[in-house]
Structure 1
C-alpha cells in the first residue's frame, strides 16, 4: 500500500481557460452595495449598545457606583462575545454547506429581533434583577448572530469580486460598518441633544433599539435579491460535474488540515480588533467617564473621526490592490506603536482641537488596517472551508481580545488611575502584530483566492490570465500538502 502511494503523482493545480471566472461588473457592484448596506444595518444594531453604555449602566445597574456601572455595562457588552465563536461555528459551517446568501439573511433577522427586544426591557427600578438578566440574554442572541454576520459578509464580497479590484471593492464592506456605527452614534448624539440627559435616561435610550425592526426588513429585502457568490457556485457546480460525493469538511478536519490559516487569522484579528474596539467602542465612554466630557461632545468627536475614516478606507483599499496589503498593514502597525502615547496625551490635554487630532491619528491608522482586512482575511482559507474557518477563528479572537478590550481597559484605569492604559494596550497588540505579519503573512493582493481560479471582470481581461496558462496556481503547493495529509489519514484508516 505504501509503495502504491509512493508512485502516485501529485495533483497539479494549474490555470485552465475554462475555469477562469468572469464576474459581471454590475453584479459585483450590486453584491458589494447590498452586503455593505446589510452590514451597516447589522452593526448599527450591534453598535448602539456601545454608544449608550453609560446610560445602560444607569438603567440596569443603578445600585452600584458610577465606575462600577461602567464596568458592569461593558461586562454585559463583552459577554456577547462569549457566544460569537459558537455563532461563527454554527453559521460558518452552514454557509459552507448551504451557501453564503441564505445564512447572511438569517443572521440579519436574528440581530434585528434581539436588538428590538433590548428596547423593550424594563429598567432595574421596575423589574429588579430580572432586568439585567433579560439584557444579558438579548446580548447573547446578538453575539450569536454577529458570529455569522461579519465573516459571512467578508466571504461573500471576496468571492464576488475580481482579483485585481478585490481590495478596493471589499473595503466597501468596512465603509458599511462605519456607516452603521456613524448612524448609531449620530442617532444617539441627536437624541441626547434634543431630549437632554434626563429624558434620554428615562426613555430616549430605547428609540435606537426600537428602530431595529424596520431596519431588519430593509436589510432582508436587499440580501434576498443577491445572487450566490461566484466562487461558491463554481465549487458546487464542479462537485456536480465530477459527481463528487465527498462529505463537507468537518470542524475536526478544519483543525487537522488548515491549522496554519487558523493561527494566522487568529493573530490578524487579535490586533485588528484590539485597535478597532479601543478606538471606536471604548473611546466615547473614555471621553465621558474618564476625561469628563459631556456625552454629546464625546460622541460627536467619534462620529466626525468615523466620517473622515470612510474616504481613507476607500483610498487605502484602492492602493492595496497595487502595492499590497502586507505593506499597508506593516506601516499602520508601526504608526500605532510610535504614536499611540502621543495621541492619548493629546486626547487628555483638554483642548478640543488637540483631542480631535489625537483621535484622528488613531482613526487614520485604524482605517488603513480596516481597508486591508476585508480582502486579506478571506484569502487565508480555501473555498470549501472559507466561511466556517473565517467565522470560527475570527470570533474566537474577537471574543478573547476585541470584545474584552473596553472592559479590560476600564478595569485597569479604575485600578491604576492611569489614563494611558489604552495606549499601552494598543502598543502591545501592534508589536505582536508587526512581528507575525512581517515573518509569516503572504501578500495575496491581486491574486486568486485560495482554492479558486483567477476571477476577472471583463472577457478581454482573460487574455492577461491566459498568458499564465499551465502555470501552477500560487496556492497549488499548499493544497498539495493538504491533499497529502488527507490521503495519509485515509490510508491509515
Structure 2
C-alpha cells in the first residue's frame, strides 16, 4: 500500500485555491486484498456484537422468566428491556476511553481489545444462575455482564466504521462501509436463528431450564476467532499518515482534550447525534422491540414472530449493500433523506398492517419498515466517519455515536414497551419512528455531501496507479481552468 504525503504543503493539494504539481506519491493507493481483510475483520466484530443483541432480543421473554421470576409477564418484559437498556448507559464511557486510545495508539489495537471484552461479557451471561437459585444476585450479575458488554461496545462501532472508512477508496467508501451493517444483520440473524432453532426443537421447560444458555456460550469461540483476525491486520493508511505528520512536527501541535474536542467540533457532534438517532431508533425498534411486541402484545406465537423478523432481516442484507453501492453514485444525503421521509409517511400504515394480526399483514408491515431502515444501514458507516478529521475521528465518532445510542437508540425498546403498557395505544411505535424521521430529516439538510470525496484531513484514496494518474490529470485540468497561471503540466 502506498500512502505518502508531501511535507511542504499546508493545505490539501486538491484544494482549488492552492494548486501544485502532483505525483502519484501524493495519493493513497489501496491494496485490494488488505481492504477486503479490513472490511471482513471490522464486520466480524459488529456481527459479534449483534449476535448478542439477536440472542438477547429473541430470548427476552425467557430471560424475563429466568431472572425476574416473581413479577408479571408485562413487568418481566419491561425489566428485561431495562437490563438491555442499562448497558447503553455506559457506552459513552466506553467511547470516552477507547476513542482517544484509538486516536493515539491506533484503530487496530483497540478493536482487538473491544472484541475480546464483548465475547467475555456475552459468555458470562450464560453462566449466571437463575433467580430461583440465587435470588436477587441473579439480575444483579446479569446487569454486571451487560455493563461489561456496553462498555466494550462503546469502542466497537466507532472504531469499526473508522477502520473501514480509512481503508476504503473514495469511490467505493459507501459500498465498503455497508458491509459493516451487513455484518450487523448477519450476526443478528445468526443469534436469532440459533434461538429459533432451539425453540423449535426443545420443550419449553427445557429451554427455560438451561437451553437458553447455549447461544451465550457460543460467543467464546466466535470472539477468539474475531480476535485472531483483527490481530493480523495492519493499521489504516490515514492513521499511518497522521502519525508520520505528528512525528515530523515533533509534537509541536498539542493534542486536544476530550472536552476541548467536543466544544471545537460541536456542530459535527450534533450532526452525528441526529443521524445516529434516526439510524438507531428504527434499528432497535425493528430488531429488538418487534419480536417481543409481536409475541407479548399482539399475541402471535413465539415461533411465528421469530421467523417473521428473521425473514425480514434476511431481505435487508442485500438491500443494505445495494444502498451502500448506490450512495457512491448519487450521494449519501438523498438516500438518508428518502429514508427519513419514509419513516414519517409509512410508519402508521406499517403499524396498522402489523396490528392487523394477519400473517401477511405483519410480514408486509415489517418488510416496509426494513426497507426504509436499509436507507440508513447502507449509508451511515460511510457518512459518520466523514464528519471528522483523522486526528479525532475515532474519539468523536465513538462519543457522538454512543451518546445518541444511549439516549435514544438503546432506550427505544424500554420506552416503547412502557408507553404501550401505560397508554394501551398500539400505535406508539409508529409515533416514535415518525419523531425520529423528523429529527433525521432536519439533520440531513445540515450535511455537506461527502460521497466520492477524500475523508477530512486525508489524501485521496484510489484503487490503482492508473486511477491515481487519471485523478492527477483531472485535478490539473480543473486547476488550469481555475487559474491557468498556476497550472503546471505533468
State if a TM-score over 0.5 links the two structures.
yes
Whether the 8 Å contact between 2:116 and 2:227 is mirrored in structure 1 is: yes
Offset, 1:42: 2.7
Report what 2:433 is aligned to.
Answer: 426
Contact 2:54-2:189 within 8 A present in 1 as well: no
User: Any idea what the Cα deviations from partners look like across 1:254-292, whole Å, max 9, x if unmatched?
Assistant: 123211111110111111111110011110000010011
Q: State the partner residue of 2:484.
A: none
**Which residue number corresponds to residue 132 of structure 1?**
139
Partner secondary structure for residue 475 of structure 2? coil
Map 1:337-348 onto structure 2 (within 5 A): 337-348=344-355
Contact residue 14 and residue 471 of structure 1 kept, 8 A: no
Cα contact 1:270–1:398 (8 A) shared by 2: yes
Distance 1:30 1:469, change over 3 A: farther
Q: How do residues 429-440 of structure 1 correspond to structure 2 at under 5 angstroms?
A: 429-438=436-445, 440=446
1:116 has 2:123 as partner: yes
- Of 375, 392, 396 in structure 1, the residue corresponding to residue 399 of structure 2 is 392
What corresponds to 1:307 in structure 2? 314
Matches within 5 A, 1:286-435: 286-435=293-442
Whether 1:462 and 2:468 are equivalent positions in the alignment is yes
Which moves more between the two structures, 174-183 or 15-24? 15-24
Q: Per the alignment, in what secondary structure is the counterpart of residue 205 of structure 1? A: helix
Bigger shift: residues 24-33 or 243-252: 243-252
Q: In 1, distance between residues paired with 2:478 and 2:387? A: 21
Residue 469 (structure 2) pairs with residue 449 (structure 1): no
Query: Which residue number corresponds to residue 59 of structure 1?
Result: 66
Offset from partner CA, 1:105-124 (integer Å, 9 cap, x none)? 10011111111110000010
TM-aligned CA deviation for residue 250 of structure 1: 1.8
Alpha-carbon distance between aligned partners in 2 of 1:298 and 1:25, rounded to the nearest angstrom: 41
SS in 2 for 1:468: helix
Q: In the alignment, which residue of structure 1 is the partner of 2:485?
A: none
Inter-partner Cα distance in structure 2 for 1:347 and 1:464: 52
Q: Which moves more between the two structures, 239-248 or 251-260?
A: 239-248
Report the Cα distance in structure 2 between the residues aligned to 1:433 and 1:201, rounded to whole angstroms: 40
Q: Which runs of 5+ in 1 are unaligned?
A: 1-9, 473-493
Q: How many Å apart are 1:469 and its aligned residue?
A: 5.3
Instruction: Using the TM superposition, name which of 225-234 and 385-394 deviates more.
Output: 225-234
Query: What's the offset of the Cα at 1:11?
Result: 5.1
Distance 1:336 1:431 in 2: 8
For 2:386 and 2:476, the matched residues in 1 are separated by 22
2:237 maps to: 230
Deviation at 1:51, TM superposition (A): 1.7
What is the deviation of 1:87? 0.2
Deviation (angstroms), 1:246: 3.3
Which residues of 2 match residues 267-282 of structure 1 at below 5 A?
267-282=274-289
**1:217-251 deviation per Cα after TM superposition (whole angstroms, max 9, x unaligned):** 11111111111111111111222234334343320
Gaps of 5+ in 2: 1-8, 15-21, 480-490
Partner residue, 2:106: 99
CA gap 1:470/1:233 in 2 versus in 1, 3 angstroms: farther
Partners of 1:246 and 1:350 in 2: how far apart? 62
- 2:212 counterpart residue number: 205
Contact 1:45 1:112 in 2 (8 A): no
RMSD, aligned CA: 1.5
Counterpart Cα distance in 2 of 1:433 and 1:217: 37
Once the two structures are TM-superposed, the CA of residue 181 in structure 1 deviates from its matched residue by 0.3
Cα deviation for residue 83 of structure 1 reads: 0.2
Give the Å deviation of 1:354: 1.4
- Distance verdict in 2 for CA 1:470–1:62, change over 3 Å: farther
Q: TM-score, normalised by structure 1?
A: 0.91
| More displaced 10-residue stretch of structure 1: 245-254 or 399-408 | 245-254
Preserved contact between residue 30 and residue 168 of structure 2 (Cα < 8 Å): yes
| Cα distance in 2, alignment partners of residues 364 and 306 from structure 1 | 10
The answer to whether the 8 Å contact 1:249/1:384 transfers is: no
1:78 is paired with a residue whose SS is helix
Q: How many residues of Structure 1 are paired with residues of Structure 2 in the alignment? A: 462
- What pairs up with 1:29-108 in 2 under 5 angstroms? 29-108=36-115
Equivalence for 1:489: none
Alignment partners' CA distance in 1, 2:199 and 2:189: 15
Q: Distance in 2 between matches of 1:230 and 1:87?
A: 25
Q: Which residue of 1 aligns with 2:12?
A: 13
CA contact (8 A) 2:59 2:212 kept: yes
Q: CA contact under 8 A between 2:338 and 2:375: conserved in structure 1?
A: no
- SS at 2:408's partner residue? helix
CA offset digits 1:114-149 (Å, max 9, x no partner): 111100000100000011011110110000011001
CA distance in 1, matches of 2:227, 2:323: 30
Give the C-alpha shift of residue 295 in structure 1.
1.6
Moved over 2 A (4+): 10-19, 238-249, 469-472
Partners of 1:35 and 1:443 lie apart in 2 by 24
Contact (CA 8 Å) 1:108, 1:216: kept in 2 or not? yes
